[in-house]
Structures are given as structure tokens and as C-alpha cells.
Structure 1
Amino acid sequence: MGKALLAIGLIALVILFNAWFIIPEGGRGIVVRFGKVLRDEQNIPMVYEPGLHAKWPLVSTVKVLDARIQTLDNQADRFVTKEKKDLIVDSYIKWRISDFSRYYLATGGGEVSRAELLLKRKFSDRLRSEIGRLDVKDIVTDSRGRLTTDVRDTLNKGSAGTDQDELETVQADLSVIPEIEDSLNVNSMAALGIDVVDVRIKQINLPTEVSEAIFNRMRAERESVARSQRSQGKEEAEKLRAQADYGVTKTLSEAQRQALIIRGEGDAAAANIFASTYSQDPEFFSFLRSLSAYEKSFASGNSLLFLDNNSEFLRFMKSP
């Protein structure tokens, strides 16, 4: 009897515990009963706010959905511009759930991976379409973010000019959810209960083969400019060197000319002095000149001269 009461008490405790559930902050809850989403009187799926809530025990399950902004980081992919040039674009998306009931139904039970798959596919198509309408200059100089803004708005509102193949693909993805076929554009993320908050491009690169070709061309251009600069530098150096050599030659020539003029003037002055002195006493002057010549001739002490006895050079040595 005691064991039966204990078992009944445990069962009652489990049922009581299972009759309550808590939705954490930053989340929303969807209750599923007997495999169907719990709806209100207007047949709209019920969404539970954060807090403590009650449910039918054992027969009801709760799916908690994240209401915060989430980031979808896309893998860098190759895109073709209006000029038929390839670009490697790395981007990411900020998104959140705007309609929890619609999101739950469209993603087959709130599967984030399925939502991100659909969002990534749609984003890639829209980004490819937008980049295909622009050239490289417009994409690189898009300072106001028109490209990402257009992609975000198109994802949220849909595009009337969607290709038939793309539209059929989206409809096929959502064909299992008849609840979303209403006034919403089936081509928009609102059909999935998703709001794209922001779209950003992290970086834009050229493909490896194109980058190498551009770098080689830039390197060749820089080398050509460097060779031109070196050639001009050598030309200027030759001009400066020639001008310097000309200046040196001109200065030396002018100095030599001045030296010759001064030397000539000095010789002329000396000749005048000698002439005036000689004219005053020719004999004495001749004697001094002879003595100077003797000094220079016999100064070494080893001089040997062969002269005629009648030579005028030794006339002052013959007779005192």
C-alpha cells in the first residue's frame, strides 16, 4: 500500500513538473500537442513570451526559438561583374526571427540549419544579381553601401523580377507549408518569418590568377618608371658633372691667365729695376752678377768646368 502511494506520488510529481515550462530571456516558445502546433481562437499559432507558462503534461512539447539577432557567415564565393570580371566576395548576414509561428512552420520545426540554408541560397542569388549589374569601380567605391542595402531590401520585400527557375525553387522549398501561402511575396524572407537586419561585405578580392597578372603588370609598370627615373637621373648627373668640369676648367684657365699676367708684370718690373740699377753703375752691376754666377756654379764644391783661359766668365778672378 505504501509503495503504491509512493508510485502515485511520483507520477503526480512528474505530471505536475511536466505541466510547466520556462521560456528564457531572448527566446520565444511554440507548443506542439499531438504533433500539431497549438493555435488560438483565430487559428493563429501561439507564441509564448519569456517567462513561466503552463501546458498539458506529457502530450505537449515546447520548441524554444532564439529571438536575438543571429549572424550567418557566408563562405567567400566568386561573382561576375557587369564587365565580365571575376571577384571573390566575402560577406555575412545579420538576421532574426520576425514571425515565430511562420518561421517554425517554414523551417520544419524551427531548424536553424534549414533557415540558414534557405537564407544563404536566396542571399547568394540576390548578391550575384546585384553585382552583375555593377562594374568593379562601382562596387569598390560603394561608400554609401547601396549594394548591401539593395540586397537587404530585396531579401525582405522580395523581387517582382525574379527568374522563373528561382521562383520555382523557392516555392518547392515552401510547398510543404500551406500556411504561408497568403498575401506575402513567396520570394521574400518574410515568407519564412525572417527579417534580414543587415548585410555586410567583409572584403572583396580578385581571383589568384587575376591578382598575379595585375601584380605582374603593376610590377612591370613600376620597373619601367624606375628605369625612366634612373635614366633621367643619370642624364641630370652627366649635365651637372659637365657643368662642374666646365666651371673647373674655366676657373683654372682664368687663374693661369691671371698668373701669367702677374708674372709678366713682375718680370717687367724686375727688368726695369735691373735696367735702372745697371744704368747707374754698369761695372759694379756686372761684378755682382758675376759673383752670383760664381756662387751658383761652385756652391756644391764638386763642380768641374772646362773653360778657355780667355773666357769672360772668369775675368774677375784673373785680376783683383
Structure 2
Amino acid sequence: MTRLTVLIGVLVVGFITLTSTLFTVQETQQVLITQFGQPIRVITKPGLQAKIPFIQNVIAFDRRLLDYDSPGEEVILGDQRRLVVDSFTRYRVVDPLLFFQTAGAAESGIRGRLGSIVSSALRRVLGNETLLAVLSAERTRVMADILREVNGEARRFGIEVTDVRIRRADLPEENTQAVLTRMQSERERVAREARAEGAEVAARVRAGADRERTVILAEAQAQSDVLRGQGEEGAIKLFADAFQRDPQFYQFYRTMQAYREAFGEGESRFVLSPDSEFFRYFRDSTPVPLTPNPVLPNPAQAPAAAPNPAVTPG
């Protein structure tokens, strides 16, 4: 029983010693071996490795890309604009020994220093750039300058920064309203200019239409006057020919027209002497001899309203 106990104890001690001696390095890891707190060697190849048990310790570092999100901070640009920048950084540990000597065994020890490096680089580079450069296609060049400065500082800690990006770039809250007001004023100015140009074009079109209307009316009035003059000329000539053929009948006809216009409404009043020539045909009912086959004017060609004839002595 005593031998069995001793054998079991030897096996247990052997197992513990073996597990403390052998260790595995993963493909995503790189290992630093320390002895009494002092670094001894660095192992970067994956596989089964060995160390002195109980004396040497294994510190593993991730060899993959790591992310660090910087909190948003206010930066003053080269044109004195203020901008709240929210960035992130991607890095990897390339020198475990230097990383252990400068930042410690934990990867969290580098985050505070990396945040200071990124913040300083952002302020230096963006302090020489304008807002338009940060928000335009030149942003790629700006980020390359920031990456170069951050990487130059980060190599002192055994890490390599592969990328620095600005996730968001916003104006401070106190400046946002001013910018929005300025944008609104600019849009209103553009709208006023557009309305003014539209009103100018409308006035020009309206003036052209009024001018064409005036020209068309004037030409129509001129043509109407010409036609009216030609018609009146024909009517006067026709009446003159008829008057020359039978003057007595023409005088009678014109007198009858004057009676119709004077007494047509039935409410006309005249203050005349009984022997007035206007009532000549009322006093003298002697028939007037007519010229055989007189040529009378065509009523369709006569004017609608002929002037009243003058009173002719009988």
C-alpha cells in the first residue's frame, strides 16, 4: 500500500511537471517566456513548445489585428472651425518583447497610450486642414498623414498601426444651429434669385405678348378702316348716282327717313311754326310725278344709319 501511494504521488508530480513544461502556441498567438519576471525568449511559430517548469512563465500575445475605438473629442481645424471627431484604430503586436517592456504583459496597457497617440496625431494634422478638406475627397490624404504620424509613435511600443479612420465628424452642438441658419439663409437667397429670374422672364414674355397684341390690333384696325372707307366710298357713289337720276324721289325718301327717326318712339316733341318745311309733306298732299323706271339704290348696299337730311325749302 505504501508503494502504491508513492507511485501515485510520483505520477501526479510527473504529470504536473510535464504540464508545466509543455505548452502549445496557437496560430493566432505569439509567446514571450519570462523567468523571475525577466524576458528570456520570444516564440512566434505555432506548435508544441517546452519551458523550465515552475521557474519560467508563458505570456501570450494576440498576433491578429486588434481594434481600439477612440472617444469623440473636439478638434480645432486650420480654418478655426470646431469639429467633434470620433475615430477608430487597428493595430497588431509585432514585437512582444518591446511591448512587454513598455506596456506590460496585458494588452489593455497599450490602449491608454494608443489613445493619447491617436488624439495628438489628430490634433496636429487636422489643425492644418480646413473643414472642406476633411469632408471632401482629400480626406484620404488627411487620414494617410494621421496614420503615418500614429505609426511612427506606436512603433516605440512594439505595435504596428495598420489603419486609422474617422468614423464620424460632426459640428459641435452650439455651432450646428448657426450652420443650419446659414444654410437656410443661403437656400432662401437662391430661391429669391430664382423667383426674380422667373419674374423677369415672365415680364419679358408678357411684354412681348402685349406688343404683338397691340401690333395685331393696330393692323386689324387699319384694315377695318380701309374696308370701311371703301364701303362708304361705294355707298356715297351709289347714293350720288341715285340722287342724280331722280332728285325729287331722293328728297322724299330722305324726308320719310327723318320722320321715322323723329317720331319712331312716339314721345318726341317739336316746337315749330306751322309753315315749317319739316312738315311740308303733311301740308301738301299733291302727288309728285315719278320718273319712269327710276333706278333706286340697293338697300343692302346703303349704310345702316344715314345722316338726317337738311330741311330743304318746298
With the length of structure 2 as denominator, give the TM-score of the two structures.
0.69
Q: Describe the SS at the equivalent of 2:27.
A: coil
Structure 1 residue 78: deviation in Å? 0.9
Q: Distance between the aligned counterparts of 1:108 and 1:24, measured in 2?
A: 21
Of 46, 50, 54 in structure 2, the residue corresponding to residue 54 of structure 1 is 50
Report matched runs for 1:169-180 at 5 Å: none
Contact 1:79 1:131 in 2 (8 A): yes
Cα deviations by residue, 1:13-49 (Å, 9 ceiling, x for unpaired): 4443443222111211123444443x1xxxxx33242
Mapped pair 1:114 → 2:109: yes
Of 161, 165, 170 in structure 2, the residue corresponding to residue 205 of structure 1 is 170
Of 83, 87, 94 in structure 2, the residue corresponding to residue 87 of structure 1 is 83
Letter in 2 for 1:132: G
Q: Which runs of 5+ in 1 are unaligned?
A: 40-44, 158-187, 298-302
- 1:65 aligns with 61
- 1:227 aligns with 192
Letter in 1 for 2:31: G
- 1:241 aligns with 206
Q: More deviation in 213-222 or 146-155?
A: 146-155
Q: Describe the SS at the equivalent of 2:108.
A: helix
With the length of structure 1 as denominator, give the TM-score of the two structures.
0.68
- 1:161 aligns with none
Contact 1:81 1:132 in 2 (8 A): yes
Judged with a 3 Å threshold, the aligned counterparts in structure 2 of structure 1 residues 193 and 268 are, in CA distance, closer, same or farther, namely: same
Contact 2:133 2:139 in 1 (8 A): no
Structure 1 residue 94: deviation in Å? 2.2
Letter in 2 for 1:74: S
Judged with a 3 Å threshold, the aligned counterparts in structure 2 of structure 1 residues 150 and 305 are, in CA distance, closer, same or farther, namely: closer
Judged with a 3 Å threshold, the aligned counterparts in structure 2 of structure 1 residues 29 and 313 are, in CA distance, closer, same or farther, namely: farther
Letter in 1 for 2:177: E
RMSD: 4.0
Q: Whose Rg is larger?
A: 2
Q: Describe the SS at the equivalent of 1:220.
A: helix
Report matched runs for 1:255-274 at 5 Å: 255-274=220-239
Contact 1:47 1:100 in 2 (8 A): no
How many residue pairs get aligned? The number is 278
Q: Distance between the aligned counterparts of 1:26 and 1:317, measured in 2?
A: 146
Q: Distance between the aligned counterparts of 2:198 and 2:282, measured in 1?
A: 69
Q: Which runs of 5+ in 2 are unaligned?
A: 290-314
Q: Distance between the aligned counterparts of 2:242 and 2:8, measured in 1?
A: 160
* Percent of pairs with identical residues: 29
Q: Describe the SS at the equivalent of 1:112.
A: coil
Contact 2:61 2:107 in 1 (8 A): no
Judged with a 3 Å threshold, the aligned counterparts in structure 2 of structure 1 residues 11 and 220 are, in CA distance, closer, same or farther, namely: same
